[in-house]
Chain A
């Protein structure tokens, strides 16, 4: 795989490495696949009629991973990619996705990633998605992910969604429907600064009996950045749902948190929590009494909060 330094940096940030990983993978750079591999249990196929992949995971696949990172290193590229994951019954797999944009020019670069998960009965999937942007250009680094999760009976999805640095604008939409005994856990970490904007929208339909969902978002908004968090949990059956938005607001930033619960049966147990506040002065002072400067204390608190 021939990669520029910027592309290597992107893959390191979003995928942990730029080397060929173990297992199945597809590396996408500037709209094209630059490396793809299937394994005995995981088939990675390009879509015929649109840009993107169909990834088929055989039933019973255990402890295998798929890497599908995306890099954009040219200015002015806009792409929409559709990736579908068909996860067979009784599987346990990890999917490492993520996208980074290096923009050194005047025009926006945009990646719209649409990921759909069809999780078979009693399967477990962990999905890790990191977003990252950098580059000296004035063009925006824009990422708009859409994630659809369809969970069959007894299945489980863990979504770890992280956007820590350099993305100018993002609108993230995540929708999920859960059958009986299915579980969804979402852990979102978001950091915005400068004049960045980020919107996270969740809609979770707890359709099955004893289905559960837990959405936990932590974010930091610095400078003039703006964030919006909207999470709607709909309880259509005997179920449990919880959403929590915990945000630290700094400088001239703005944070809007709009949690919503929609219980359509008396057996739906739904809870939401939302807290927005500035960096606590007692936390800063405590760390200063341990010898950190004010800046070091703030950095320690922020890094811990986003861990």
Chain B
């Protein structure tokens, strides 16, 4: 349980501990999503069925294959045209974003959201669901490579660079200690040093048997996956372990 050190509040500690020892199961059953374009309907997702368990599941595929849409549907930002989402045997398809968050889902947005007047510390308190110490808030920032003293009291606004905002977005999700954490392209907009740090965070989450879904194109993230799912044209093209899937993606360059 290396991720839960003493600086974490008892509630967050317990939450993280429980989610690490219980088996979490997310089932996507025949998920489809269509949008209207002009007079016709375009299928973005086409009958996706997937069961996600503890560990790192990486969803990859070409641009426009429906990866981010699938993340949004799981979190409730978009409503599927068809299909069901089952979390631990409970149908959550019609639950609101808030209710899904309370059930233990968390999403790190691909495009970080900016706020005028809300500080990094405010955001981490909201994420944590309780008033946390500056020390604990600082811990989440350190995990994404940000110096707490420089960032805690800054507003989450456009005075921060894209990379800084992205790392704050990631920290806000880490502070959730969620049952299932979804990262939508976590590598987008962050520097190499921070990315290395981030992969360490994912490895720790994996070691702690957490349930993590990562939407990514990054080979270094694909390498640490327990399972890779390839989406193409809104359908699951293939899925399996890195050993079986990576050669298909990298054209044989992969050395396990």
Binary interface profile of B, 110-130, with partner A (CB < 8 Å = 1, else 0)?
010111111000110011010
Q: Which residues of A contact B126 (CB under 8 A)?
A: 287, 290-292, 300
Query: For A303, what are the chain B residues with a Cβ–Cβ distance below 8 Å?
Result: 117
B190 at the interface (CB under 8 A from A): no
**Taking the complex as formed, is A49 at the interface, i.e. its CB lies under 8 A from any CB of chain B?**
no
Residues of chain A with a CB closer than 8 A to B116's CB: 218, 246, 304-305
A304 cross-chain contacts in B, Cβ below 8 A: 115-118, 122
- Evaluate contact between B113 and A283: CB separation under 8 angstroms: yes
Q: Does B32 contact A (CB under 8 A)?
A: no
**A301 adjacent to chain B (CB < 8 Å):** yes
Instruction: Please tell me the number of chain B residues within 8 Å of chain A, measured between CB atoms.
Output: 25
- Nearest-Cβ distance from residue A150 to partner chain B, whole angstroms: 32
Residues of B within 8 A of A290 (CB): 101, 106, 123, 126-127, 129, 172, 176
From residue 269 to 287 of chain A, which have CB atoms closer than 8 A to chain B? 280, 282-283, 285-287
**A289 beta carbon closer than 8 Å to chain B:** yes
Docked complex Cα distance between A280 and B111 (Å): 14
In the bound complex, CA of A307 to CA of B107 (Å): 27
Determine the chain A residues whose CB is within 8 A of the CB of B129 once the complex forms: 290-291
In the assembled complex, the CB of A185 is this many whole angstroms from the nearest CB of chain B, namely 17
Contacts of A289 in B (CB 8 A): 75, 77, 97, 101, 105-107, 109
A301 to B116, CA, bound (A): 8
Docked-complex contact B97 and A288, CB < 8 angstroms: yes
The answer to whether the Cβ of A264 comes within 8 Å of any Cβ in the partner chain is: no
Q: Mark B11-48, 1 if CB is under 8 A from A, else 0.
A: 00000000000000000000000000000000000000
Q: A286-B113, A289-B107 are in contact. Are A300 and B75 (CB under 8 A)?
A: no
Compute how far the CA of A292 lies from the CA of B97 in the bound complex, rounded to whole angstroms: 9
Residue picked from A246, A287, A291, A303, most chain B C-beta under 10 Å? A291
Say yes or no for A293: interface residue by CB 8 A criterion: yes
B113 x A305 contact (CB < 8 A): no
B117 near A306 (CB under 8 angstroms)?
yes
Q: Any chain A CB within 8 A of the CB of B197?
A: no
Is B200 among interface residues, defined by CB-CB distance under 8 A? no
Q: Is residue A294 contacting chain B, with contact meaning CB distance below 8 A?
A: yes
Nearest Cβ on chain B to A283's Cβ, whole angstroms: 6
Q: A290-B176, A292-B126 are in contact. Are A307 and B97 (CB under 8 A)?
A: no
Q: How far is the CA of A287 from the CA of B75 in the complex (A)?
A: 12
* Shortest distance between the CB of A47 and any CB in chain B (Å): 39
Instruction: Name which of A286, A290, A293 has the most chain B CB atoms within 10 A of its CB.
Output: A290
Q: Mark B85-111, 1 if CB is under 8 A from A, else 0.
A: 000000000001110011001110101
Of all chain A residues, which has the CB nearest B125?
A290
On chain A, the residues within 8 Å of B77 by CB distance are 285, 289
- In Å, the complex CA distance between A292 and B118 comes to 15
Q: Give me 22 A-to-B residue pairs in the complex whose CB atoms sit less than 8 angstroms apart, sorted by A's number.
A: A218-B116, A218-B117, A246-B116, A285-B97, A285-B113, A286-B113, A288-B96, A289-B77, A289-B101, A289-B106, A289-B109, A290-B106, A290-B123, A290-B129, A290-B172, A291-B101, A291-B102, A291-B126, A303-B117, A304-B115, A304-B116, A304-B122
Pairs A-B, 5 closest by C-beta atoms: A304-B117, A304-B118, A288-B97, A286-B113, A307-B117
**What 6 new A-B contacts, CB under 8 Å, besides A289-B101, A300-B118?**
A283-B113, A283-B114, A286-B113, A290-B127, A301-B115, A304-B116
A positions within 8 Å CB-CB of B:
218, 246, 280, 282-283, 285-294, 300-301, 303-307
